[in-house]
Structure 1
Amino acid sequence: MSSLTTSPAGAPRATPRPSGGGLPGAVAAEWTKLWSLRSTWYFLLVAAAVMAVTAGCIGTVSHDPAASVARPATLATVYGVEFVVAALAMLSVTGEYATGSITNTLQCVPNRARMLVAKSITLGGVAFGAGIVLAAIGVAAGGAAMDAGVFEMSYVAGQVLAIAVHLALLSVLTVGLAAIVRSSAGAITALFLLLLIVPMILQSIPADFFTDLAQFLPQAAGAQFMADEAELYGPVAGLLILVAWAAAFLTAATVVLRRRDA
């Protein structure tokens, strides 16, 4: 069959091909779905409020008035908002399973790996942008609480970027975890265990092996990455470990989704 059709004037013209599709189309669909939900805006507003309050409280008690240059303690505040941002990523997956819309999603994007990558790109990108804004809010709130007019700008810029990257990778990890667990309650419980409970249990065991093992879990790796000074294995290694955790969960989710499907 010829791909040319004839116009009323008799001149041949090419049959238009459908646009979109592939990974860019899948990302565009995930982007549209995410921002069409009111819950997305609620989560981001809650995260902003938590960051402002936490940064203000920490800034009040941690500032050294004798210091000539102030350092807002924004890294300490990220732990107050990371679960809010992670919950947003989680619901992008578990919400579809709860409503049954995951079937439509997989019909539109049959390639399971592509669907998960599209969700990860979308949620990771949103978390990165939100992290920049949230960290800036933390700097402003912490600075106001400290009544400090001079910041060490290179330090502040590094903190802001580190927070944004940390939240982005945590969101990707959460997308993979949620695709494996598939329920909101189960996913948030598993994330809470992975980030907080398991490290505490390992560190409480009187054996060096378990204490060292806890330092390579996602929360500890993120803390090493965001630290302004090399402590255990340094920021670069912390970033690589965090990337490895996110990639591992995303790979496992792809395998599970292919075997168990929707």
Structure 2
Amino acid sequence: MVRAELLKIAGLPSVWVAAAIGLFAPALLGVVNLRAPGTDPDAGYLELTVGVVGALVLGVVTAGSEYRGRQITTSLVCVPSRVRLLAAKTAALALTVAVVAVPASIASLAVAGTLSAGAVPRIAGVTAYWVLSALLAYGITLVVRSGVLPLTVLILNSSVVSVTYLLTRVTPWATYLPDLAGAHLFIRETNAPIELGAVTGGLVMAGWTAAVLAVATVVFRRRDA
């Protein structure tokens, strides 16, 4: 089933555009923002917080495509169990995003001159951040049944104006919102009012993602196709 969902994802033209954005945008931003080696501990990583836009698009498109042209009806005929269908789609999305995140990270760090064996844990953090971001976008899209709203809000928040970061100026508890908490997986200087460890930040983001996916699963099971 996962293989079938991977093929379904690969058949969407917008997926290839999103993958290209995620793969190449961080490195290109790195070229534009090139810094002297050793001057910034987050060189090459900050650009990956923008490259996550590609992962967000992948998440939204994977869920939203089911409601375009009544594809969901065909999917449920082939796989009557909604939970199994959702599990397969979720696994396929996570794998797809991870496959994009790793080379994107390597390319971005290579441009910044910070690629080394010691970067492996932080690359793993980037990959986890991208996968969790994609799953959040995917879950929200399943709930609202449309990709327009989540795509607009999430992309604006990640690339134009970080509303979640602005909220930290109002209350430090905003640090525990998923994108800000998850950034601690690989960013060392976040300027957040509450500094979280990489593990803590990852667990907070994973908790948000699990909650959204749980709601999406309940809604997906109970709602008419």
Residues 154-179 of structure 1 show CA distances to partners (whole Å, capped at 9, x for unaligned) of: 43222222111111111122211110
Is the aligned partner of 1:63 residue 2:33? no
Match of 2:103 among 114, 120, 133: 133
Match of 2:176 among 212, 216, 219: 216
| TM-score normalised to structure 1 length | 0.75
- Do the aligned partners of residues 197 and 261 (structure 1) sit closer, same or farther apart at CA in structure 2, a change above 3 Å counting? farther
1:202 counterpart letter in structure 2: L
Secondary structure of the residue that 1:123 maps to in structure 2? Answer: helix
Residues 141-200 of structure 1 show CA distances to partners (whole Å, capped at 9, x for unaligned) of: 223xxxxxxx57243222222111111111122211110111121221343577665424
Secondary structure of the residue that 2:8 maps to in structure 1? Answer: helix
Partners in 2 of 1:177 and 1:108 — Cα distance?
A: 24
- Residue 44 of structure 1 corresponds to 19
Match of 2:53 among 83, 87, 109: 83
Gaps of 5+ in 1: 1-24, 144-150, 206-210
1:199 counterpart letter in structure 2: T
Question: Once the two structures are aligned, what percentage of the paired residues are identical?
Answer: 28
Partners in 1 of 2:120 and 2:11 — Cα distance?
A: 31
Cα-Cα RMSD: 2.5
| TM-score normalised to structure 2 length | 0.86
- Residue 116 of structure 1 corresponds to 86
- Residue 73 of structure 2 corresponds to 103
Check the 8 A contact 1:72/1:142 in 2, yes or no: no
Check the 8 A contact 1:72/1:156 in 2, yes or no: no
- Residue 154 of structure 2 corresponds to 191
- Residue 204 of structure 2 corresponds to 241
- Do the aligned partners of residues 104 and 47 (structure 1) sit closer, same or farther apart at CA in structure 2, a change above 3 Å counting? same
- CA displacement at 1:76 relative to structure 2: 0.1
- Residue 3 of structure 1 corresponds to none
Is the aligned partner of 1:260 residue 2:220? no
Partners in 1 of 2:189 and 2:54 — Cα distance?
A: 27
Computing the radius of gyration over CA atoms, which structure comes out larger, 1 or 2? 1
- CA displacement at 1:202 relative to structure 2: 2.6
Secondary structure of the residue that 1:215 maps to in structure 2? Answer: helix
Secondary structure of the residue that 1:232 maps to in structure 2? Answer: coil
1:102 counterpart letter in structure 2: I
Check the 8 A contact 2:22/2:54 in 1, yes or no: yes
Match of 1:203 among 147, 161, 168: 168
Gaps of 5+ in 2: none
- Residue 54 of structure 1 corresponds to 29
Check the 8 A contact 2:58/2:97 in 1, yes or no: no
- Do the aligned partners of residues 104 and 35 (structure 1) sit closer, same or farther apart at CA in structure 2, a change above 3 Å counting? same
Check the 8 A contact 1:74/1:159 in 2, yes or no: no
- Residue 31 of structure 1 corresponds to 6
Aligned length: 220
Secondary structure of the residue that 2:135 maps to in structure 1? Answer: helix
Partners in 2 of 1:255 and 1:198 — Cα distance?
A: 28
Partners in 1 of 2:141 and 2:116 — Cα distance?
A: 37
Residues 102-131 of structure 1 show CA distances to partners (whole Å, capped at 9, x for unaligned) of: 111122222222222211111111111211
- Do the aligned partners of residues 43 and 98 (structure 1) sit closer, same or farther apart at CA in structure 2, a change above 3 Å counting? same
- Residue 172 of structure 1 corresponds to 135
- CA displacement at 1:74 relative to structure 2: 2.0
Partners in 1 of 2:172 and 2:85 — Cα distance?
A: 36
